[in-house]
Structure formats: C-alpha cells, structure tokens
Structure 1
Amino acid sequence: MSIIVSNKTAHKEDKVDDSDDIVLGVRHLKTYFYPDDGSVRKAVDDISFDVRRGRVCCLIGESGSGKSATAMSLINLIDRPGRIESGEVLFEGRDLLTLDVKQMREVRGADIGLIFQEPMHSLDPVFTVGDQLVETILAHADVPRPEAETQAIAWLKRVELPNPELIMTAYPHELSGGMLQRAMIAIALCCEPRLLIADEPTTALDVTVQAQILRLLVRLKNEIGLSVLFITHDLGVVAEIADDVLVMYDGHIVERNTVENIFDHPKHPYTKALLLTRPIIGQKLKRLPTLHEVMREVDDGEITQPQDWSTLAATVEDDSIAEVGERSRPGTDDSCQTKEHQGQPILHVSHLKKYYERVRGFGSRGNNVKKAVDDVSFDVYRGETVGLVGESGSGKTPIGQTVLRLNAKTDGEVLFGGEDIFSLSNAKLARMRTRMQYVFQDPYSALNPRLKIGSAIGEALLHHKLATKRDVTDKVVETLELCGMDSSCLNRYPHEFSGGQRQRIVIARAMALQPEFVVADEPVSALDVSIQAEIINLFSELQHTRDVSFLFISHDLSVVEHICSSILVVHNGRIVESGSVHDVFDHPQDEYTKSLLDSIPTSHPKYRTIA
C-alpha cells in the first residue's frame, strides 16, 4: 500500500520564519539515493520544518520513512550512492550545506551534538572512553590536556556514570548498553552545543535504562538550554519528552503539531494509524488494528478520509484518540481473562539451574560463576501464552533455550508432555523437536542467507518426514498463508524481505512442524509499531487456531499484557514474581516488578512522568 502526499500537505509551512526562536530551519530538503540498478529512491523528498530553541522536536515514523536520512542530511554526512539534491539547512541563519569539509567538522560537536542508535558502532573500540571524550574536547576547545581530562571526568559525573575515573580507563566493550549511551551523551554534549540530534538513542535499551536516559536528556536540556531533534519510532517516548512532533512517511513530513495536538487531534490517516496500532497498558483489545485496516488506498494523489475508527478500536472518538488513564482497565471481556488450567501442564519446569563460568573483565568482582538460570520453576498449560519479562541479562533467553534443551542444564527438571527432555536419547530428542520450536529475536540471523525461503521451510518438513518431495511445496505454501505470506515468497532469499516479513517467515518455519509449544524470544522488539501489531495478532491467531502454547519472552510490558494470560518476572536469573497479567500489573509485589512498570513510557503526554 502506498500513500501519496499532496504538495499542499507536505509544504504547509515552507515560508521561512526569521524568528530568533528558531535554532534549525530546514527548507525544501531533498536527498535521493541512486542504487546500481538504475532506480532512484527519494529518501527525503522536499521537506521543511523548524526546531525551536529550548524545545524537544520529535521526528517519528517507521523504518524506511526517511528519518535517519534526514538526520544525516542535516549534518551533511550522506554517503554514496546518496546525494543531497537541493534545499537549505539553516543553523542559526547559516546554511550548513554551503560549508566546506573543515567548516562542517567545526560545527559538528561544538555547535551540534550527535547521538546515534548504536553507541558500540559510534565509539572506537581501540581507544578508551576517556581518550575519546578528551579528544572531542581538545578538538573544539583551546585548553591544555589536563584541563580537558578534568572536564571529561566532570561530564561523566554529569551523565550519572558511577566511578567516572574508572570509566575513563574503560574500553567500549567493557561497558553495558546503558553506560555506553551515557558516555555517548557526555561526548555529544561536552562542548555544550546549542542543538542535539539524537537518532533512536534508546531503541536498543531496556525499559528501565531507557527511562533513565530520557530523564537525563531532559534534565541536561533544561540545565544548558539545549534544543533537541529526537528521532524515534516509539510513541511512548514521544509522549514522555516531546514538545513538538513531525510525522514522516515515505520521505515526506505528513503532519506537524505540538505533542498534545498530535495525540488528541491527529489529522493525517498515517498518524492515526500509528496511534491506533500500538498496544497500550490497561487497554487490552481482542485484536490490534493494523496499518492496512486503518488506512485506505490513495486516489488521484490525495489522501482519502480515514475509515470508521469506532469499528477498529474502542479508543477512537471522532477524529481524536481517546484518553486512557495509566493502567486503567476497560472492564473484563473474554480477551482479558486468564485461561482456565485443565489437566497436566504441557511444560513443567522444576528447580532449573544453568550456570556459566564468568570471564573476568572490567568492573568484575566476586566469584566467577554466572547464575544465568537460578532455581526456576513454572508451568505452561496447553493453549496458554506465558510472558517471561525482565531486562537484558536477567536470564530470560537462557531460560527459554534451556527448557528446549538448546542449552545443557546445571540442575533441575524439565518435563515436556510428561517426559524429561534431558533424559531423552538423541534420536528421541530429534522426534521431540517437531513438538517444540524456537522463534529467535533476529530473523535475519536465523535464516540461511543462501537458502531460498521455500527450501528453508521445506527442509525441516522433509527431514522429519512430515512431507514428501511431491507435496512439500503445498505444505510450505499452506503454512506461509497461515502466517500472512503467499507462494510468491518461495523462490526469494531472506534479504529480499522487510524485517516484518522475515519475522513472519521465521514463525512459519517454526509452525510448519505443527508444534505444541513454542518459545518466542523477543519476536517483535525490532519491529515498527504497525508491523508489531500484525505479528502480535498473528501469535494470538495461532494460539486459538492451533491451540499452541507459547513462552513469550519480551522486555516490552505493553506487548506482554496484550498477548499473555500469565506472566513471570525474571531478575538475576530468578523468578521474582508470577501470576495472572491482571494481578501482576495491577498489584505488583516485588520492587523490581514495580520498577519495570514505573518505567513504561506513558500513553499520553498528560500522564508524562519526565519533567
């Protein structure tokens, strides 16, 4: 489905505003890419907008919308085969696109700070954090090195890193994701720039770390009078920190407004679709609306009117997205009830332990044993979806992999269908594999890049003698259609699909064997909100049509609330709280659970907790 934006929509605010309030003014910016196949991709297609002094302007949109290309264009870092075709980027009245390489290098860092999504890719792995911070200061300030080192330590303190003197000597690989992002913020702001461009700086972080980073950015913004262009696809983040919002689709800015008006009175169908397709805490629907259901096709180059929103979700009223109080619940329909347990559990885990020898490194102390899974017990019943939640390193993935015997256990018992899977012979375990499957977080890594999709799914069917060479294609197509794909996928390679399509293919590969139990490891964490809605709906449909049991691993509590009937909260390898989704979300007992719930981004700007 394509969406064409009329010129009057895209260029509504093209007129230059000479107000002193504007820090960055973008006028008619065009950035096109020219692949070797002779095509042209208009990544940024004639956009204009302003970033105002002391305000956070969020640029939102899905993958491929042009957000990152816009960020790179603003600081003139577009590489081949990309090219900035035309436009102006006025930073305090100075067109950055007219500057030479030396002048632009002076602007970056000193006047405009930059934070990118992957700090490990942004920092040089062969230099310490201190070296890189000091060199940034020396590049833009006329101070001796000892003074630069003193300033560097002060900035590490300012971004709330513990033991800043020790952090100065650490290499990037020795720090956690949250610590790395704080170090990147220190490097971006150490020369006190007037504008910060942050490109998806919290996407890869856990919810608690994300909340800490957002609070830190807002505090620093208020302290030094910073203006921020914050690029994200997370509407919860937008609700927490934005003053102004730009909505981007297919290289165009299709809507711009204050954050309150975007949430209360969205005008563009795409904006409404983004707001409707996200799962919201306390607002559990039987089925999430999808982008294709919310939007109509384009007629004659103009955007058509939205469909009847009231038929898609109970949250819509006229042209507004209705307000929902934090964790308030709209009654108790059938979709919100915990499934009644009948008979024996399909999976019984008792006192499971998985220990690793820890490799000593920066900041390590104590014994060298990592208790990845530490005396864990739980049950999963037929047709039930159990959520396994916690931060990175909490033990979620080791639990999921160990219960399927992808890892060896240290101690404990795992019964699947009443059989101890760790006592099975290799031959019996191979037969058992058809009954239990694993869906990995990264579908691209899970698929052989040299194997066509038809073969990737069909080889498992042939190996387990669930299909013959004569009928394997029909069975593959049947499974693909079940997962929202079709026969056109058979002869294509993984790289030819989008992230959401690859995730469907990985799910189809698991479901082709008609398993009774599936471990789904962060299957939607890397997906855009609209694609995420489609995959969540797919899991719900598979649960009901195939009576499959799922252990659904996630750090996104809004997704877990929507899809799961019960929940296990994991911290340091142990289950610290368990129960129905209602009980855990409405009456959390453990302090760690409370911290996870308190860190969930708000659903509406009026409920924001970050000042």
Structure 2
Amino acid sequence: MMSKSNKMLDVQAMDTSSNTVLSVRHLKTYFYPDDGSVRKAVDDVSFDVQRGRICCLIGESGSGKSATAMSIINLVDRPGKVTGGNVLFGGRDLLTLDTKQLRTVRGASIGMIFQEPMHSLDPVFTIGEQIVETILAHEDVPRVEAAERAVTWLKRVELPNPEAIMTAYPHELSGGMLQRAMIAIALCCGPKLLIADEPTTALDVTVQAQILRLLVRLKDEIGLSILLITHDLGVVAETADDVLVMYDGHIVERGPVEAVFDRPQHPYTKALLLTRPIIGQKLRRLPTLHEVMREVDDGEIAQPKDWSTLATTVQTDGDKGEAHSTDANGNDHDSTPILTVRHLSKYFERVHGLKGEGNVKKAVDDVSFDVHRGETVGLVGESGSGKTTTGQTVLRLHSKTAGEVLFDGIDVFALNNRKLAKLRTRMQYVFQDPYSALNPRLKIGFAIGEALLHHKLATKRDVMDKVVETLELCGMDSSCVNRYPHEFSGGQRQRIVIARAMALQPEFVVADEPVSALDVSIQAEIINLFSELQHRKNVSFLFISHDLSVVEHICSSILVMHHGRITERGTVDDVFNHPKDDYTKSLLDSIPASNPKYRKIGR
C-alpha cells in the first residue's frame, strides 16, 4: 500500500529564476547507527523556496523534515551524513563550503529558529548580549551601534519594553517572549532566508497566533523568504504560500497551499487532512491514518466533499462504525457527580532573596465544578492558567490551601494514607509526557503489573494475563510486555501510559494534555481510544488541554481557566457558539484555520 508514497506526484519543473532564493536538488541524508543498518532520512529531495514567500514543509515525526533543514545548512550530526545532492543559495552550493565559509552564511544570510528556544539560547548571557554578539560576529560595526540595532529588532518582534528585555536572561522570559527573542537573533543581520523548525509547537494557541502573525508581517515588510517546518495543518493553512508534503524521506506532494488543501493528490496528504479534528465538525470518531490510506488505495475517496461521509462510516477490524462516545450529545452520562469540587484553592509561596522573602502565587483560586459519571469535562486554558495544578490537587497529588474535593461522596483530603491508597485504584492520572512517566529501566509488563500486584488486583500467576488484556484494550499487543519504553514511538508510549492507568479499572481519570505532543494521525488514534474507553468502561474524564479542536471533539462540557480561576463554563455548543467571556473569545479567535480560504492571518 505505502509503496505509492515513494512515487512523486505532480512533479513540476524546478524554478531557477531570479525569484528563487533556495534550490535543493536530489538531497540525500542517511544515518548509519552502530547496528550496521542504514536509515534514509532524506532520500532524493528537490524543491525551491521563492523570494518573499512562505514554503511550509509538512509531515509527521520521522518523515525527514528536520533532517532536511539541518542538511541545508550542513549541520547534520553523526551518525548522520549528507551523502548526495546540491543546496544552491546565493550562487553557491552550501554543501561544498568549508566550516569558515558556512559561518558567514549561517546567521548572516540564512537565519534559523528552533522548536525549543530555551535550548538554543545561552542561559548565562542576557538576551541583549546574545543579539549583539550575533551582529558583531558577522558585521564590523561598533558595539554601541550593534546594541541600538538589537533594541530596534526587539521592538520589531513586538516585545514589550525592549530596553528591559536587553538585560533579561532567558529564564526570565515566557515561552512566547523567548521565541520572539529567537526571531530577533535570527533576523538581526538581515538574512534573505529564515528556516523555522516547528517554531510554535510548544506554544499556547494565543501565543502561536501572535508568532505566526509576526512571521507573516515580517515576510511582507522586508521581503523575507521562509521555510517553515511543521506537523500542524492549522499552521500551514494560516501561513503557507507553497506546501511540500514529506513522508518517509520523500517529498510526496507539492503545490500552492490552496491546491494542496482543496485538491490533494497523494493518499498520505488526503489522510493527514482527514484525520485532524476540525472545529465545527464533531464526528462520532476520527478516522485514523491507516484506515484512510486503506480507503484511498481502494479508490473510495476522490475529493474533500466526500470526506465528512467517510469520517462517520470508516471501519476498523472489530468496529462497525457505531457511535462510540457517550459524549456525542452530552446527555448520556449519569446525573450523579462522581467528582464534586467546591471552592478549591492551591497557593504556592515563591521565595527569593537571602532573607527568604517572597510572595504567593494563586495557582488555583476558588474553583468549583462537577464531573458526572460517564462524562468527559474539558479543562482548557493557556500555560500557567492553573489547569495541571487543578488536576493534580483534585487527586491529592498536591495538598490544598482551601476548599473541598468529594469523590463519590468521599472527602479526599479527610482520608488517612491507608484509605487514600485504597481510593487511588478508583482515580488515576495520565501525564503529558509519557516517556518521563515511565521508568526507562522497567519493561512495560512490569511497569503495568506492579500496580496490579501492589493493590492486590492480580496474583503473580495471572498478572501478565491482565496486563496483556489491558494493553490490547488500549490498542497494543502482547509482545509489548518484554520491551522497554525507548523501544516505542511517542503514540505507543502514550497508549502504554493510558493502559497503566486503566489497568486498575478506575472510575475517574485526569488526562493532562495527553495528545499535545503527538502527530495528527497518532492524535486521532488516542482521541478515539479515550472515547472507546469511556463507552466500554463508563469512565469519567477530566481532559486538560489547550487544543480547543480536540476538546470540542471529545468533551461534552468545558471549563475555561485563566489566572487560576474558572472564567467560563458550559456545554461544548454553548462555549464554542456563544462565548461570554473575553478570554474565551480570544482563545477561539486564535484557533488556526482549517483551510487557507478561511485564514485570519495576513488577510
């Protein structure tokens, strides 16, 4: 089936006119691990980036996007190696330049920003020092002039009080401010091309919108060319002029953004577009990548107008397409709350200085809500809003400052340790980062089985049977039990973490950003898994997320959190269609478009 993806569709002649800023020809980058195998991360890739346009390179993790970006500026680390091809920029082939020559190109002619700015910035130098040193490294100008230009660029990237930012260290800035600072560093020497590798993946939806709007504005103002690497189709819809779709080291589709979204040619592109949750199109279940690829290969999908029908009827083995989620209409859950939270507060004292002086951060401030049996409640808001602290305090992973938490009528904070341990089998937590949540030295079977043994829910004789049963419920097979966490993909690890929580047969689960770091196709599988678990086991979920399209699909009601408080609540339909709070409206306004014809940025 997937052999088709290796064949380039809609091949067009490469433009070598004066409007072409970057030309990549037959680029090959292979990795040679110690086991003697060869991984073709970039395999015969060719494309152009045009002057004053944003070219989005899209694909899932492992498709070769970042390897392509690093190959362009010849920064591939061992065991990787660029084994062939040409990268033409400014009349030179970058792959033929020595280290000294490349330094004159990187930063000066080609700027680059990365997904994690905190990892790219030096923690011991101020933001101002890092911009100034970048300018001085490429230009022979007085330091005073470089400092003035640094302030100018901090203004251009819309950072408040740029003079203060000049003296700030990276750890003193928020994620969005750090990304703006990285853009200032990348552009301070006036490059013709900016390579942006997943620049908004770790950002909240409102901050993401601000960064994307900034990039589009800079493109228009200074004629900047941008190669934007992402796995987020919303980012592509909002910003792209041209699109390259990458799969398994190959460019499988290319074209203007409108053509790729409205008339996709390759099965993989069609699958990517279909498996994402879209605001206003709540489906009974999301089709997964493999399901759609199978349907496309059978010739059953032609144009996007057919996709909404397929989305509700596509079938998997053992699943005949029935509605799974009890949240489909929001009225099927039990009227009795399994969780009652009243006036809950959690404050943290922030201590600084030698005298131990500090202030209080009100992470959770007078929060009240209910979760009914069989219901999924979405808790949404930006980073720092108090979502995670709320979820962890509800399960008594934090102490409370004030308020009350009742689980099935039981006062959680009135229990002694023995009774609390017994209650923990009934309520579980799924963490955002599955790799950090799993002990890298424990095999998966033991990681799941030890909780069953500890709570006496299995014997040594039957524990592995129950582990396998739970793994299969979560879409994994019995071979997993003897493997370690590092042997699995991100989506598989997330399934394992969910299986570990579900093994105890809980009645209530807090799921903390369980799909935020996953590719769109894997995200669809995990969303479907939550719906299926709810349907089969009548589990209640508090689903924490900043992705409103995911929340709309899986939840029946929503709590909007801002600065530690619930600022709006209601059914999904009410909150999405009739928001009352200004903060909720700003969140909804920041959701990326599902199609470039609806984009808000740059229009």
Instruction: Please indicate, yes or no, whether the TM-score normalized by the shorter chain is above 0.5.
Output: yes
The 3-state SS of whatever aligns with 2:597 is helix
In structure 2, what residue type is equivalent to 1:64?
Answer: G
Partner of 2:344: 352
The separation in 2 between residues aligned to 1:190 and 1:389, in whole angstroms, is: 36
Q: CA deviation at 1:308?
A: 4.2
Which residue of the partner structure matches residue 393 of structure 1?
384
How many angstroms does 1:339 deviate by?
2.3
Match of residue 31, structure 2, among 17, 30, 33: 33
Displacement of 1:358 after TM fit?
A: 1.9
Q: Which residue of 2 aligns with 1:325?
A: none
Answering whether residue 450 of structure 2 is matched by residue 450 of structure 1, we say no
Summarize the Cα distance change of 1:396–1:119 in structure 2 as closer, same or farther, 3 Å threshold. Answer: same
Residue 314 (structure 2) aligns with:
none
CA–CA distance in structure 2, aligned partners of residues 188 and 3 of structure 1: 39
My pick for the range that moved more, 339-348 or 462-471, is: 339-348
How far residue 474 of structure 1 moved from its aligned partner, in angstroms, is 0.6
> Does the C-alpha gap of structure 1 residues 20 and 472 become closer, same or farther in structure 2, counting only changes over 3 Å?
same
The percent identity for this pair of structures is 79
- 1:358 partner SS: strand
Cα drift, residue 296 of structure 1: 3.0
Q: Deviations over 1:280-331 (max 9, x none)?
A: 000000000000101139xxxxx9454447999752699xxxxxxxxxxxxx
1:240 to 231, 235, 238: 238
The reply to whether residue 576 of structure 1 matches residue 575 of structure 2 is no
**Residue 110 of structure 1 corresponds to which residue in structure 2?**
108
Q: Secondary structure at the match of 2:579?
A: coil
| Pair 1:315 & 2:308 matched | yes
What's the offset of the Cα at 1:93?
2.8
Amino acid aligned to 1:607: Y
Q: Give per-residue Cα distances to partners, 1:481-537, cap 9 Å, x unaligned.
A: 000001010000000000000000000000000000000000000000000000000
What is the distance in 1 between the residues matched to 2:358 and 2:94? 54
Counterpart of 1:287 in 2: which secondary structure?
coil
Match of 2:493 among 502, 521, 543: 502
The 3-state SS of whatever aligns with 1:220 is helix
Between the aligned partners of 1:550 and 1:581, the Cα distance in structure 2 is 15
Q: Secondary structure of 2:541's match?
A: strand
Match of 2:56 among 55, 58, 64: 58
Q: Is the 8 A contact 2:507 2:539 kept in 1?
A: yes
1:125 pairs with one of 85, 106, 123: 123
Q: Which runs of 4+ in 1 moved over 6 A?
A: 309-313
Structure 2: which amino acid aligns with 1:12?
V
Query: How far apart, CA to CA, are the structure 1 residues paired with 2:428 and 2:381?
Result: 22
2:500 is paired with a residue of what secondary structure? Answer: helix
What value does the CA root-mean-square deviation take over the aligned residues? 2.0
Name the SS for the 1:162 alignment partner: coil
1:193-592 equivalence runs, <5 A: 193-296=191-294, 304=297, 306-308=299-301, 314-315=307-308, 336-340=328-332, 342-360=334-352, 368-592=359-583
Q: C-alpha displacement at 1:336, in angstroms?
A: 3.9
- Identify which range, 134-143 or 252-261, moves more after superposition: 134-143
Does residue 1:172 correspond to 2:164, yes or no?
A: no
Stretch deviating more after TM superposition (338-347 or 107-116): 338-347
Deviation per CA, 1:42-66, whole angstroms, max 9, x where unpaired?
Answer: 0000010000111000000000000
TM-score, normalised with respect to structure 1: 0.93
C-alpha distance in structure 2 between counterparts of 1:245 and 1:527, whole Å: 21
Deviations 1:456-483 (A, max 9, x none): 0000000000001111111000000000
What's the CA shift string for 1:384-440, capped at 9, x where partnerless?
A: 000000000000000000000000000000000100000001000000000000000
Alpha-carbon distance change, 12 to 314 in structure 1, aligned in 2, over 3 angstroms? closer
Q: Is the 8 A contact 1:483 1:504 kept in 2?
A: yes
Any idea what the Cα deviations from partners look like across 1:215-240, whole Å, max 9, x if unmatched? Answer: 01111111110000000000000000
Q: Distance in 2 between matches of 1:101 and 1:254?
A: 32
Which residue identity is paired with 1:540? Answer: S
Does the CA contact (< 8 Å) of 2:9 and 2:265 recur in 1? no
In 2: Cα distance, 1:63 partner to 1:123 partner: 24
Question: Who is 1:77 aligned against?
Answer: 75
Change (3 A) 1:608 1:312: closer
Q: Is the 8 A contact 2:326 2:535 kept in 1?
A: no
Distance 1:310 1:93 in 2: 41
How far apart in 1 are the matches of 2:71 and 2:300? 35
Q: Which residue of 2 aligns with 1:12?
A: 11
Q: Distance in 1 between matches of 2:302 and 2:476?
A: 26
Change (3 A) 1:177 1:375: same
The structural deviation recorded for 1:92 is: 3.0
CA distance in 1, matches of 2:377, 2:413: 22
Pair 1:367–1:125, CA change in 2 (3 A): closer
Q: Runs of 5+ in structure 1 lacking a partner?
A: 298-302, 319-332
Contact 2:54 2:239 in 1 (8 A): yes
Q: Secondary structure at the match of 2:214?
A: helix
Q: CA deviation at 1:546?
A: 0.3
- Superposed CA offset, 1:540-587 (max 9, x none): 000000000000000000000000000000000000000100000000
Pairing 1:184–2:182 present: yes
Relative distance call for 1:3 and 1:399 in structure 2 (3 A) is farther
Distance (whole Å) between structure 2 residues aligned to residue 369 and residue 32 of structure 1: 52
Q: 1:595 to 1:172 in 2, by over 3 A?
A: same
Deviation at 1:18, TM superposition (A): 2.4
Superimposed CA distance per residue, residues 8-41 of structure 1 (whole angstroms, 9 cap, x where no aligned partner): x26934x553211111000000000000000000
Deviation at 1:334, TM superposition (A): 8.3
Cα pair 1:285 1:335 within 8 Å, conserved:
no
SS of equivalent to 1:450: coil
- Tell me the distance in 1 between the aligned counterparts of 2:392 and 2:477: 30
Q: Are the aligned partners of 2:263 and 2:303 in contact in 1 as well (CA < 8 Å)? A: no
Partner of 1:321: none
Q: Any conservation in 1 of the 2:16–2:23 contact (CA below 8 Å)?
A: no
